[in-house]
Amino acid sequence: MDPLPVGDAPWWEEAVAVLAEDDLLGPIVSAYPSPALAGRGEAFRSVANAIVGQQISVAAAEAIWGRLETLLGEVTPARVLSVSEDDLRNCGLTRSKASYLHGLAAEADTLLPDDWASRTDPELRKHLMRFRGIGPWTAEMFLMFVLLRPDVFSPGDIGLVRAIQRLTDGVDDGKDAAAFAERWAPWRTAASWFLWRTIDDEPVEY
């Protein structure tokens, strides 16, 4: 399989230079000069983290993730499969999320096609969403944080919608936010990274 990216996104500096010139995003870029978006090379861990964070607060997700790490040591497919779904639920996961994690752990080897690096974002999004527990938002987080794709925006992310609402009027929902975010193409992943920083000083990680 094509190797997963590790370390700073190779396009990060170019994206930051462009976004720094944007009237709305420029001041935010200047306020948060580091760190850069970086890949860990850990596909399963990242998708598991995103599933934990689905539709709950950042604080709640961090608490549950901490309990998972205490239970498992490392969140790997083998270690997830070594415990029961009830054990996962005891960490704070819902029944459905515990089931999703078990299912994904069993199918971890097929999470990405071998030639993922040559696939388009829509192709990869479609592939990922075949797995139970991976919807549009989780697939988009995967594209951003695991594959370091430079031009991803997630209209289903309430944090991004709220961040854009702070910058401009007339944005009522994710569809409006996505339309507005087109101004930051082809660097919408980096734009999202900086928008999240206006909601929480701590960098988002998945």
Condensed to tens digits (0 to 9), the pLDDT of residues 141-173 reads: 999 999 999 999 999 999 999 999 999 999 999
Collapse the DSSP code of 140 into the 3-class scheme (helix H, G, I; strand E, B; otherwise coil) and give the result.
helix
206 found inside a domain? no
79 found inside a domain? yes
205 found inside a domain? no
pLDDT range class, residue 22, cuts 50, 70, 90: very high
What letter does residue 37 receive in the DSSP assignment? Answer: -
Q: How many domains, in total, are found in the chain? A: 2
Q: What is the mean pLDDT of residues 17-27?
A: 97
- What is the SS3 assignment for 85-99? HHHHHCCCCCHHHHH
Dihedral sign, Cα of residue 7, residue 12, residue 13, residue 16: negative
Residues 113 and 160 in one domain: no
Residues 91 and 130 in one domain: yes
Residues 135 and 48 in one domain: yes
Q: Is the pLDDT of residue 202 over 90?
A: no
Instruction: Cite the DSSP H helix spans in 146-187.
Output: 158-167, 174-181
Residue finishing a domain among 126, 145, 164: 145
Residue 145 and residue 196: Cα distance in Å, rounded? Answer: 13
Q: What is the mean pLDDT of residues 92-100?
A: 97
Residue 77 sits in which domain range? 41-145
DSSP 102-118: HHHHHTGGGSS-TTGGG
182 found inside a domain? yes
The enclosing H or E element of 7 equals strand 6-8
Residues 89 and 167 in one domain: no
Residues 138 and 174 in one domain: no
Residues 131 and 64 in one domain: yes
Q: How many CB atoms lie within 10 A of CB 83?
A: 18
Residues 121 and 57 in one domain: yes
Crossing angle of helices 95-106/43-52, nearest 10°? 170
128 found inside a domain? yes
| Beta strand ranges found along 23-143 (DSSP E) | 38-40
pLDDT range class, residue 61, cuts 50, 70, 90: very high
Task: Find the CATH number of the domain harbouring 132.
Answer: 1.10.340.30
Looking at residue 203, its pLDDT comes to 84
Residues 133 and 53 in one domain: yes
204 found inside a domain? no
Residues 108 and 171 in one domain: no
* pTM across the whole model: 0.93
Residues 45 and 141 in one domain: yes
Task: For residue 58, give both structure tokens.
Answer: 């950042």
Task: For residue 106, give both structure tokens.
Answer: 């069993």
| Average confidence score pLDDT of the chain | 96
